[in-house]
């Protein structure tokens, strides 16, 4: 065997050994990384599972037919319910969604279609608004609605929650609209259709599953907030449906009853917290199922 052939064999052997060692090292690194990811997942699930388990264990005892169908009772008198808070949350959050979602999706359509200084400025403002504390938004609604009216009201609470929902609706809506292929825009415009008609009849329809998900996520974000309602709706022990009056809410029941020293009111707070937890879970699960079903339909 010549010297050249021997050196080539030695080089191949060295490369093979180096590749074997590198492969073993990558395997070990992959196993370690997977183990660390699993450990991180377990650590992240511990507080979540603990919160859910504690809420279910303490709240399920309060659930009954009377709990969902009767008005609250004074401390020490059993049998009180949260029907006024259920209806109040439905009115406040429903009106907030009517205020925020159309505006949010129009802005999302503008951001998805345009680039430039104005669009970037709007995105920056929306991102800053998304990070604002909820209590700050409550103070804002108190200043612009409650003080001019001279009294607390459900309308001011809806305004506060609408402001809270708006950044989520805009950013999630923009993401949903951007999933629509650009070819769809170009095909509609090439046929001579106006851009507004293309957006309304083609783009919005194609992005509808994502927009539905964005809507339910925004509602889920607002439905459990108590801080803005402390400055606006303030809560009520009676069955109120007028937007110009103070109104009860599920989150306010959790806050006010949870800090009371009376066991029956604390039980009501835990039962209401469990109700909120179930509602939020149903909204999130239904948003995924509805989006999947609508995505199949739009195809």
Residue 98 has pLDDT above 70, yes or no: yes
Which pLDDT does position 92 carry in this prediction? 92
Which pLDDT does position 91 carry in this prediction? 92
Q: End-to-end CA distance of the chain: give it in Å, rounded.
A: 67
Of all residues in the chain, the percent with pLDDT exceeding 90 is 12
Which pLDDT does position 5 carry in this prediction? 53
Mean pLDDT computed over every residue of the chain: 82
Cα 92 to Cα 229: distance, rounded to the nearest angstrom:
10
Q: What is the pTM of this model?
A: 0.79
Which has more pLDDT, 279 or 74?
A: 279
Considering 25-39, 85-99, 236-250, the range whose residues carry the highest mean pLDDT is 85-99
Which pLDDT does position 204 carry in this prediction? 76
**Helix 263-298 vs helix 208-223: crossing angle, to nearest 10:** 170
Which pLDDT does position 95 carry in this prediction? 92
Which pLDDT does position 179 carry in this prediction? 78
pLDDT mean over 215-225 = 85
Q: List, for residues 12-71, the tens digit of each pLDDT value.
A: 666 666 666 676 777 888 888 889 999 998 998 898 899 889 889 888 988 888 888 888
Residue 10 has pLDDT above 70, yes or no: no
């Amino acid at each position: 065997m010549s010297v050249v052939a021997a050196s080539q064999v030695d080089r191949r052997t060295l490369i093979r050994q180096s590749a074997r060692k590198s492969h073993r090292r990558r395997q070990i690194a992959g196993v370690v990384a997977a183990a660390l990811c699993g450990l991180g997942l377990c650590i992240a699930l511990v507080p979540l599972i603990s919160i859910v388990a504690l809420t279910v264990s303490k709240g399920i005892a309060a659930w009954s037919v009377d709990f969902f169908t009767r008005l609250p009772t004074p401390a020490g008198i059993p049998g009180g319910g949260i029907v006024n808070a259920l209806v109040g949350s439905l009115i406040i959050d429903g009106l907030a969604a009517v205020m925020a979602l159309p505006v949010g999706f129009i802005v999302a359509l503008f951001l998805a279609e345009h680039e430039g200084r104005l669009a970037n400025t709007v995105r920056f403002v929306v991102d800053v608004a998304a990070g604002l504390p909820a209590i700050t938004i409550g103070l804002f609604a108190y200043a612009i609605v409650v003080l001019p009216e001279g009294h607390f009201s459900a309308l001011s609470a809806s305004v506060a929650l609408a402001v809270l929902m708006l950044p989520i609706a805009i950013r999630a809506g923009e993401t949903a609209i951007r999933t629509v292929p650009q070819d769809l825009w170009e095909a509609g415009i090439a046929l001579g259709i106006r851009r507004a008609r293309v957006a309304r009849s083609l783009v919005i329809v194609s992005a509808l599953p994502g927009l539905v998900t964005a809507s339910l996520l925004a509602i889920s974000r607002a439905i459990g907030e108590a801080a803005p309602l402390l400055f606006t709706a303030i809560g009520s022990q009676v069955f109120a449906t007028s937007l110009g009056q103070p109104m009860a809410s599920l989150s306010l029941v959790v806050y006010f009853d949870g800090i009371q020293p009376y066991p029956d009111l604390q039980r009501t707070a835990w039962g209401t917290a469990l109700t909120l937890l179930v509602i939020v879970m149903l909204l999130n699960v239904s948003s995924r199922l509805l989006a999947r079903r609508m995505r199949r339909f739009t195809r």
